[in-house]
Structure 1
Amino acid sequence: MSGHNDAIEDADAAIVEGKAPPSRGRPLDRERILSAAIDYIDDSGLAGLTMRRLGERLGVEAMALYRYVQGKDELLDGVVEALVDAMDVDSDVIDAPQDGWQDFVQRLAHGVRRVALAHPKAFPLIASRPPEAPWLRPPLRSLRWVEIFLAGLEAEGFSDEAAVASYRAFSSFLLGHLLLEVATLGADVGPLDVVDEAPEPEGLASYPHVQRLRPALSIDTSSVEFEEALEELLNRMALMRHETTHD
């Protein structure tokens, strides 16, 4: 019993004077720190988040946080992971098609949108923090979720080329739309806090679709995608014009 008490006291060292220790009821840990960081961003925005202010919210000195996160960069990366992981507990998001690929993609898109609307001030971090690999894109920015997306489409008959192109189109559409949407809800989307590019990941064997398609995912097709998206927009505008002039 004494060893347990000593561990809690050590973990929650440097309690801010006059505040109840967070170890009473729930010890300080990484999950609690990330949750508090998300709450802070939801309440006050990203710009004001510091280790000191986060420590104050948790009732500890900032130095107590460094046992669980090495600094603000790691804290923000952890916040992004927590936001993306929220889709794991979203009962409407599925990890493989059940009623066709359209239903699968729609569920995934709405799952990401629910994350954005639940935490609009934190969502821009998904666009600005480095993904697990430099050739992955937000908002599906983790190897696991990209694997789920690619595997799901290929199970529905998509070729490798079509699956990669769909991943790019899905990412561009969803991120662009959601960044505009969260901006109307008070998010600061510019300038984004872009950091150095992520290093090449290890252990891709656990993600066979990502591993096989890694060369295709790495190709920069931004200009082509822009032209295709613009052409699609013009087609939609032409359709709307036709509908309104023939009513």
Structure 2
Amino acid sequence: MAPKRLTKDHVVLTAIAFVDGHGLDALTMRRLGDSLGVEAMALYRHVSGRGELLEGMVANLIDNLFDNDLMIETPTSWEDYLQRVANATLQLAREHPEIFPLIATQPSQAPWLRPPLRSLRWVEDFLSTLQSFGFSDENAVSAYKAFTSFLIGDLLLQVHATGDDAIGFDDDEASDEEADLSNYPTVIRLSELLGQDHSQREFDDALDDLIERIRATLTT
């Protein structure tokens, strides 16, 4: 059988699928090679190592946000644009919760490339779109910084959330920790409320608040 012909894109996409299924800690060059049916050494023709592989995964996911259905239509206002970008990024975080934290932690090419919109293509699109709706240079940059801070903070919380309906311990922990719950009566009493998942509503409300703050800067 002829050896499989790899491309960097194929390696990166397979790595994304592997991490989605097995978690980031499980990703090694050897295991990725096994998934592709090749020796690990064959991967080094396309990526120099795990670091470049992770960078490629982040770049792929961020760039592919432009292909999200929400981003294909031309926005009717700057508020509509922010709503579309925010919800497209939310979909990304929910579809790839094991990878999304990398978007926050991988070094950027420049300090002013802020996660999650951390590519030159995204900065160009964001700033030019806002300016097409009348934003000044200063207001567009300020909105980019505020918007990215909101996104990365909210979405990192979402991908770490369990979504459980109640607070508790895993079975392995219960025998050791259950007695300690008696020291936290307020947590026990409010556990059902604490465990309720209102993440979509909270995201929408926070985004609306941000848009109102940006709107206020345009009139000052």
Please state whether the residue corresponding to 2:14 is helix, strand or coil: helix
Matched, 1:67 2:67: no
CA distance in 2, matches of 1:120, 1:34: 17
Aligned to 2:107: 130
- Cα deviation 1:143-196 (Å, max 9, x = unaligned): 01011000011111111111111101100100000001011259xxxxxxxxxx
Aligned to 2:186: none
After superposition, residues 220-235 of structure 1 pair within 5 angstroms as none
Aligned to 1:168: 145
Aligned to 1:179: 156
* Letter paired with 1:156: F
Matched, 1:41 2:24: no
CA distance in 2, matches of 1:102, 1:152: 11
Contact 1:94–1:108 (Cα < 8 Å) also in 2 = no
Scaled by the length of structure 2, the TM-score of the pair is 0.70
The structure 2 residue matched to 1:115, chosen from 74, 92, 96, is 92
After superposition, residues 210-225 of structure 1 pair within 5 angstroms as none
Please state how far the C-alpha of 1:91 moved relative to its aligned partner.
2.1
Percent sequence identity over matched residues?
A: 52
The structure 1 residue matched to 2:54, chosen from 71, 76, 80, is 76
Please state whether the residue corresponding to 1:173 is helix, strand or coil: helix
- Gaps of at least 5 residues in structure 1 are 13-22, 187-228, 234-247
Please state how far the C-alpha of 1:132 moved relative to its aligned partner.
2.9
CA distance in 1, matches of 2:62, 2:162: 19
Aligned to 1:28: 6
Please state how far the C-alpha of 1:98 moved relative to its aligned partner.
3.2
Aligned to 2:180: none
Please state whether the residue corresponding to 2:89 is helix, strand or coil: helix
The structure 2 residue matched to 1:53, chosen from 31, 44, 52, is 31
Change (3 A) 1:156 1:132: same
Q: What stretches of structure 1 move > 2 A for 4+ residues in a row?
A: none
* Letter paired with 2:143: S
Please state whether the residue corresponding to 1:47 is helix, strand or coil: helix
Query: Alpha carbon RMSD of aligned pairs, Å?
Result: 2.3
- Gaps of at least 5 residues in structure 2 are 164-205, 211-220
Change (3 A) 1:185 1:41: farther
Scaled by the length of structure 1, the TM-score of the pair is 0.63
Change (3 A) 1:94 1:133: farther
CA distance in 2, matches of 1:119, 1:66: 25
Change (3 A) 1:141 1:185: farther
